Amino acid sequence: NFISAVVPPGEIGVKFDDIGALEEVKTALHELAILPMKRPELFSRGNLLRPTKGILLFGPPGTGKTLLAKALATEAGANFISITGSTLTSKWFGDAEKLTKALFSFASKLAPVIVFVDEVDSLLGARGGGFEHEATRRMRNEFMAAWDGLRSKDSQRILILGATNRPFDLDDAVIRRLPRRIYVDLPDADNRSKILKIFLAKENVEPGFDVQSLANATEGYSGSDLKNLCIAAAYRPVQELLDEEKKGKSCDTTPTLRPLSLDDFIQSK
């Protein structure tokens, strides 16, 4: 139970098309992870094209790193295992060696598999000198040893995908094991518009609703911020209806909600 999720590929419920923008990230993941898993025969000759053992996704919070990891597993037809760095180091002061062995042998059994390590900095962060907890240090060393111990045959089918908001906290030993690093940036206005279109695809919005002007008005918002904004805006017509019912103005048995206006979003900011 140090693993927060184990999901087979058909049950993850997220694919690349559900993720707005981030096209370059998706292309990179396709080349680095999906192709080697789906077409291993293309990567078995010579030395230049070797599948990578590790990829790091880094960037601000809420930009879709976890979502990308899940969708990657769907697209690669791989199982998905998720662990959280801070949970591992804070809860498991016990036998680091047993724990990592269990994790890696479990992963081998589930291969092809994506092992997603969220907050990878807290598990594999820079050595904390004298202040570092002994258990954290042992866990990290065991994790790296088990990772190095993956036979190259396995590495084609077991991918460690780390995510962090604090890439500068990772030390050289970790950076070396995550040779492919992909920056997941905050969306610009055009990309915010693409993300908003996904969230609003099934919503009842006013005719002529201008997604681009909402995108322009949400500078600095992450994908996650945009989703929260949409949820808050979608609640406004519900709240209005409830208020009307309370005042006794409406007692429709099948009440209809008014469509969402741009103002609902602006007021919810």
In the complex, the residues that contact ligand ATP under the rule CB under 6 A are 19-22, 61-67, 118, 163, 165, 195, 198, 223-224, 227
Nearer to ligand ATP, 65 or 138 (CB): 65
Closest to ligand ATP by CB, 73 or 150: 73
- Measured CA to CA, the distance from residue 19 to residue 133 in angstroms comes to 38
> What phi, psi does 183 have (nearest 5°)?
-85, 125
Question: What stretches of the chain show up as alpha helix (H) in DSSP?
Answer: 23-29, 35-38, 65-76, 85-91, 96-110, 120-124, 134-148, 152-155, 172-177, 189-200, 211-216, 223-246, 262-268
Q: Is 42 exposed, middle or buried (0-12, 13-18, 19+ CB in 10 A)?
A: exposed
Residue 256 makes CB contacts below 8 A (sequence gap 6+) with: none
- Residue least distant from ligand ATP (Cβ): 223
Q: How far is the CB of 59 from ligand ATP (least distance, A)?
A: 7
Q: How far is the CB of 247 from ligand ATP (least distance, A)?
A: 35
User: Considering beta carbons, is residue 121 or 264 the nearer one to ligand ATP?
Assistant: 121
State in angstroms the smallest separation of the CB of 223 from ligand ATP.
2
Residue 56 pairs with which residues in a beta bridge? 162, 181
List, in order, residues 6 or more apart from 199 with CB less than 8 Å away: 20, 226, 227, 230
Sign of torsion over alpha carbons 30, 36, 39, 45: positive
Return the number of the residue (62 or 112) whose C-beta is nearest ligand ATP: 62
The residue (of 104 and 221) whose beta carbon lies closer to ligand ATP is: 221
In terms of CB distance, is 16 or 104 closer to ligand ATP? 16
